[in-house]
A and B are shown apart, each in its own frame.
Chain A
Amino acid sequence: MAETSEAKASTSPPGGDAGGEEDKRDERMLECNICLDTARDAVVSMCGHLFCWPCLHQWLETRPSRQVCPVCKAAISRDKVIPLYGRGNTKQEDPRNKRTEPENTSAFPGFSFGDGFHMSFGIGAFPFGVFTSTFNFGDSRPSAAPRGTAQYDEEQFLSKIFLWVAILFVLWLVFA
């Protein structure tokens, strides 16, 4: 008898911290259904499910032929998600217009320059294109920043850097 009551005591949560429990639940309400982290660049589907846009984008890219909500499997598409803008988010830029760079992917993305010129890199058996984020440098990319602004310049600068990184990488592949 003593044993069972002891076992019960040790499994019940210590103290009655109801407030903490509630906070936890509130936090989980705002978690992305894919990475299970707090949603960033949050979007919500027509079926009401919350995601980071980069996460949802990657899910849609993984299965282009079967675009369903990862939670309830309702039909879903890029055009039918609603971006969420919280208070303090002054820019209110639609995350779908940003370049999608899932922050956690370490793999080298495929590069594409302008029209039709596409490269992807791989060494041995490890394909660097596993994570399907793509940078587009060229006129085809709908730029969020108008020409002449600081952001535009910065983006041009970044494109050049990436171009050089790509070239160096190719050289390294050739000579290494």
Chain B
Amino acid sequence: MFNIAAKRIIKEIKEVINGDQVEDAALKLELVNDNWMDLRGEFKGPPDTPYEGGAFKLEIKVPETYPFNPPKVRFMTNVWHPNVSSVTGAICLDILKDQWAAALTLRTVMLSIQSLLAAAEPNDPQDAVVATQYKENPELFAKTAKHWTNIYAGGPNHVWEFNRKVEVLIDMGIEEHKARVALSTNDWDIEKATEHLFS
């Protein structure tokens, strides 16, 4: 079957690869297993944010009714952000739901997700814990996001203080990612985090 959706996806990939816009340089888009319904996207964390320098991977599922219905997009890279689930990578973004328009492309979707990282909307959260931290303790939030970017997205900025705290929990026999989640959700209080893990 070679319908509008398949034709468009092929065109869209070409446009991203041959992109002449500056922002295209930071975008990647490719098929998984030569199947137009299943794609991987990647973009660079926006500058002057805790996500700077990270490379963020997206899983993109294209419905047969594309572009009349939106693609399903989620983060494959773990992200600490109010509008992204730290567990599933699900993204809360209006254009992926009721604000979808058929003239939007995977390129514009990726760019929108990139700017979502730069401008969170904590009042319409996907991850309530992260959103609370964002509102009540913005500095700690930014540090946590930077730490996650360093660990999961290959960002260059280490947060040594957090690395050491994760080490402490690992030494207690806790798996690394679990330890990081527990600490992040408990404002990096080791006592609270361990309590949380062993309760």
Contact = CB atoms under 8 A, between A and B. Distances in A.
Do A and B actually bind?
yes
Interface in B1-45: 1-4, 7-8, 11-12
Interface stretch (A32-40, A85-93, A133-141): A32-40
Interface string B54-77: 000000000011011100000000
Give chain B's interface secondary structure class: loop
On chain B, which size bracket covers the interface? 10 to 19
Contact of B3 (A36, A69, A70, A105): A105
Given A62-B65, A130-B65, A35 B8 contact: yes
Interface string B79-111: 000000000000000000010011111000000
A108 interface: no
Contact of A58 (B8, B68, B104): B68
A131 B102 contact: no
A70 B8 CA distance: 15
Given A34-B67, A62-B69, A104 B2 contact: yes
25 contacts: A33-B103, A34-B4, A34-B102, A34-B103, A35-B67, A36-B105, A37-B11, A49-B103, A55-B4, A58-B68, A59-B68, A59-B102, A62-B65, A62-B69, A66-B98, A68-B101, A70-B102, A73-B101, A104-B3, A104-B4, A106-B1, A106-B3, A130-B64, A130-B65, A131-B65
